[in-house]
Amino acid sequence: MNKTYSTVSRKIRAWAEEDRPREKLLQKGRNALTDAELLAILIGAGTVSESAVDVAKNLLAMVRNSLAELGKMSAADLMKIRGIGQAKALTLIAAMELGRRRRDQDLDKKQKITSSAQVYEYIYPLLLDKKHEEFWVLLLNRANEVIRPVQISLGGVSGTVVDARIVFKQAVEHLASSVILIHNHPSGRLVASDADKSITRQLIDAGRLLSIPVLDHVIFTDNGYLSFADEGLI
């Protein structure tokens, strides 16, 4: 057997047992592992010259250590890293998606909304990592508890069309007492455009006719949000 390959292939096995990712997870729990070590467990094996942890570190360096950016990567993007083939890329994508779905399940719990921060926290798993604009509405009961979130429309990277009839059809059908509007800016810009302000005014007027007030319009980005109510735009 080639000496170099033999030496490197035992690289992680040669570490102290408490430092090996899998053994560390068993002995110390998941919170004890770094992001690179957790990714290394998913990656499984490294290359001739690098361990799985090294491959994971290279991957994290590519996304500037941002798991949010990692979640946006396609299989083709991931396969640009030496040591990550199609099977490993799909494993990583599946793991990131399971994490998102776990957070989605928390949305099943009826939550009372009393601030824009709670709106952002609630919608975060639904809009995280989106590369196109989506428009959502939270339907609330009289106690300001979320009845359900509803996707109204989706569009391109710079806009989406919103029909007031669809928004309030959902509100009426689910007996909502009020609504909160939400849409994302994939660009990350936390600025309300003229179009954002215009559709907000239209929906406020429509809601007033139906006695279903619009409480807020939140612009979502992966790293923060803008609330029309907080900014005095409603």
Kind plus residue range of the DSSP H or E element containing 147: strand 146-154
Look at the pTM and tell me if it is higher than 0.75.
no
**Which domains are present in the chain?**
3-104 (no CATH), 110-227 (3.40.140.10)
Digitized pLDDT (tens) for each residue of the chain, 234 residues in all: 444 444 444 566 666 556 688 888 888 888 888 999 999 999 988 888 888 999 999 999 998 888 888 888 899 999 999 999 999 999 999 998 888 777 666 655 678 999 999 999 999 988 988 888 999 999 999 999 999 999 999 876 556 789 999 999 999 999 999 999 999 999 999 999 999 999 999 999 999 999 999 999 999 999 999 999 999 998
pLDDT given for residue 5 in this prediction: 42
Query: Residue 119 has what pLDDT?
Result: 96
Note the pLDDT of residue 1: 43
CA-CA distance, 220 to 216, in Å (whole number)?
12
Cβ neighbours for 117, distance < 8 A, ≥ 6 positions apart: none
Q: What is the pLDDT of residue 98?
A: 86
Residue type at 23 in one-letter notation: E
Is residue 140 within 8 Å of 178, Cβ to Cβ?
yes
CA distances from 49 to 35, 54, 83, 87 (A): 21, 9, 10, 20
